[in-house]
Structure 1
């Protein structure tokens, strides 16, 4: 090797090392920050659930707790291990560790999909069962549904991870010294099955349930247009009745003009008229209060269901945004592996994991009780005080 070639090689190695160092710093700062936010955010959800009875007593929030447990595991396992993988460019843990990692990763990323379905069902049952909802949906049933989700995903992906080759006879040559992939994902038919089972079916189910909820809310909202109270016409009735009594009092029964009798009659009629007016006014006031209380109660119920529907719609929208690119990339990768660059795989995979990062912020933005607990746990009491003052005034209004 000549001197010039030696210098060029040294310069190239130095440049490559500098690039690797900058890249690793970027990965640690950006990706490590996202991983930390995922872990802390979901921990806040779990702590808020455990310490606030206003949150834990609602059945729907038990599904949110389950969602946060899965998302927390994504941050602790999937994203943390992938951070090491990104820095080393190779899989340094071997075959057994790879399969255990894949099992955990596939389970904790697909349990939230099942959870969102049950959250949608819970909202649908709340609207359709109405007063029978507390009897129909209990914590025991919610716990059974949650156990079923985890059991199904563990068994399903456990089979795919450890006994796919003995069952199907297909064998893919995967070098576990630098790569970690699920053998089943190399088959186009399996990718179609996965998309149908864990994306299309949940999406159609959630969309149908949301449409039913939306129609229910829209029908309820038609009766909330305030009209003039009917009692206003009744308030005029005592006046006409009193006028009639006044005209009637001017005519004496025997046609005489006895001033004493007339004065006494006037006082009695005036007293009777005042009593009637007071009685009618009290009746009108009571009727108005009853009407206002009934309308306010229905309005609060409508607002509660509408807010829940909006929250669920946002969760579903984020789910589509995070999962659809991953499945499209996976499907294209099975048809033409060289057509999908490595960067596309990294972006879509991490976008899927980032769904676990976004979820706690959705709860903070949509749920007042979660938001209050987050601010308290983070020590931002001043922000909570500033936030609660306009909220209280708007609620009173």
Structure 2
């Protein structure tokens, strides 16, 4: 998953409080959000089921990272449904007054969780690029740095980091009792200079640094792969060639996943930067399209895994065949029991 935290900028940066934002788009956009949510939930649930079925997949460090990406995308799909601004909109029941309404707006109404999932995904993709870099370029160090327990610790850090970097949502989210939409924004204390400084730093931490990490790692991997192909061609070592091909397939899958994420995020991040410098308008049609593109990213990864990686595709087919076979045996057993009961003597 995956959405940018750009709506945390109030409509008027100079205002002390904003009176909420208007819902953008009509029924068509609500349907689009609904389709994205369903695809995200179903597709990523299948990915999680695949990892539960395949012990080999979940034992690899890159498998643990991809499993977490699928979990984040699935949760994004769920929060697309429960967030008022996406599908339900005006029909969403008004939050209760007081603390409950305030918490609802701070955590759900202004999409704190949804935004956090995007930053978590970006962090996990950065970790995944490092994992692939060590797995391909420095395999002798891979086992040291990316043991299962260490990989899990990195993932926990990514989750905590993603939430911390979106604490501004909690600070700025406000509940306007009786208004529609019920949740709005208030400016950060300190005025426009503080606002620009804070979101400039957040842009670097959320997007720019992970982006640099991903680009540098995959550029290094690409250069190494080119020299490896040349060396393997000269040596004609079949065992080394097979090992290289397996690593290459996994790396390509991870690289395409990262590229898709970056392409979906980049337009929104550029537009968000322009908003903070008052060079663009918040909640415009362009802004809405960039947000829709980010949410769309939460449902495409399962298609990437299955279409690009032959091993994932094979494991998925095996899982589906096993489920069909289990269902067939269950139906056969029930039919046999039914026939036995029918043919048994009665008193």
Residues in 2 aligned to 1:342 and 1:175: alpha-carbon distance in whole angstroms? 22
**8 Å contact kept, 1:184–1:190:** no
Counterpart for residue 45 of structure 2: 43
Kindly state the Cα deviation for residue 328 of structure 1 after the two structures are TM-superposed. 2.0
**8 Å contact kept, 2:74–2:298:** yes
1:345 paired with 2:287, answer yes
Q: Helix, strand or coil for the counterpart of 1:150? A: helix
**8 Å contact kept, 1:322–1:351:** yes
Kindly state the Cα deviation for residue 132 of structure 1 after the two structures are TM-superposed. 4.9
- Relative distance call for 1:174 and 1:337 in structure 2 (3 A) is farther
1:326 pairs with one of 247, 262, 268: 268
Q: Helix, strand or coil for the counterpart of 1:300? A: helix
Greater RCO (Cα-Cα under 8 Å, separation 6 or more): 2
Kindly state the Cα deviation for residue 175 of structure 1 after the two structures are TM-superposed. 4.4
Query: What do the CA deviations read for 1:165-202 (whole angstroms, capped 9, x no partner)?
Result: 7xxxxxx9884733445546883323322221111111
Kindly state the Cα deviation for residue 117 of structure 1 after the two structures are TM-superposed. 0.7
- Relative distance call for 1:80 and 1:376 in structure 2 (3 A) is farther
Kindly state the Cα deviation for residue 85 of structure 1 after the two structures are TM-superposed. 5.0
Kindly state the Cα deviation for residue 151 of structure 1 after the two structures are TM-superposed. 1.8
1:196 paired with 2:210, answer no
1:222 paired with 2:164, answer no
Residues in 1 aligned to 2:154 and 2:280: alpha-carbon distance in whole angstroms? 41
Counterpart for residue 144 of structure 1: 153
Counterpart for residue 153 of structure 1: 162
Residues in 1 aligned to 2:92 and 2:275: alpha-carbon distance in whole angstroms? 20
- Relative distance call for 1:128 and 1:369 in structure 2 (3 A) is closer
Kindly state the Cα deviation for residue 306 of structure 1 after the two structures are TM-superposed. 2.7
- Relative distance call for 1:74 and 1:173 in structure 2 (3 A) is closer
TM-score, normalised relative to structure 1: 0.63
Residues in 2 aligned to 1:354 and 1:195: alpha-carbon distance in whole angstroms? 21
Between structure 1 and structure 2, the one with the greater Rg is 1
The aligned length equals 287
Measured on the aligned residues, the alpha-carbon RMSD in Å equals 3.3
- Relative distance call for 1:222 and 1:73 in structure 2 (3 A) is same
- Relative distance call for 1:190 and 1:43 in structure 2 (3 A) is same
Kindly state the Cα deviation for residue 66 of structure 1 after the two structures are TM-superposed. 0.9
Counterpart for residue 118 of structure 2: 109
Kindly state the Cα deviation for residue 381 of structure 1 after the two structures are TM-superposed. 9.6
Counterpart for residue 317 of structure 1: 259
Q: Going by fraction, where is helix more abundant, 1 or 2?
A: 1
Kindly state the Cα deviation for residue 331 of structure 1 after the two structures are TM-superposed. 2.2
Counterpart for residue 31 of structure 1: 33
Kindly state the Cα deviation for residue 110 of structure 1 after the two structures are TM-superposed. 0.9
Residues in 1 aligned to 2:89 and 2:169: alpha-carbon distance in whole angstroms? 25
Query: What do the CA deviations read for 1:22-75 (whole angstroms, capped 9, x no partner)?
Result: 943x34543312210000011011111111112112111100011111111100
Counterpart for residue 310 of structure 2: 368
**8 Å contact kept, 1:111–1:150:** yes
Which residues in structure 2 correspond to 1:198-347 (within 5 Å)? 198-225=206-233, 295-336=237-278, 339-340=281-282, 342-347=284-289
**8 Å contact kept, 1:103–1:157:** yes
Unaligned runs of 5+ in 2: 1-24, 96-100, 325-347
The answer to which of 125-134 and 194-203 deviates more is: 125-134
Counterpart for residue 126 of structure 1: 135
Kindly state the Cα deviation for residue 359 of structure 1 after the two structures are TM-superposed. 1.3
- Relative distance call for 1:308 and 1:352 in structure 2 (3 A) is same
Q: Helix, strand or coil for the counterpart of 1:206? A: helix
**8 Å contact kept, 2:76–2:117:** yes
Residues in 1 aligned to 2:248 and 2:298: alpha-carbon distance in whole angstroms? 24
Query: What do the CA deviations read for 1:242-276 (whole angstroms, capped 9, x no partner)?
Result: xxxxxxxxxxxxxxxxxxxxxxxxxxxxxxxxxxx
- Relative distance call for 1:320 and 1:338 in structure 2 (3 A) is closer
Unaligned runs of 5+ in 1: 1-21, 166-171, 227-290, 383-397
- Relative distance call for 1:173 and 1:35 in structure 2 (3 A) is closer
- Relative distance call for 1:338 and 1:155 in structure 2 (3 A) is closer
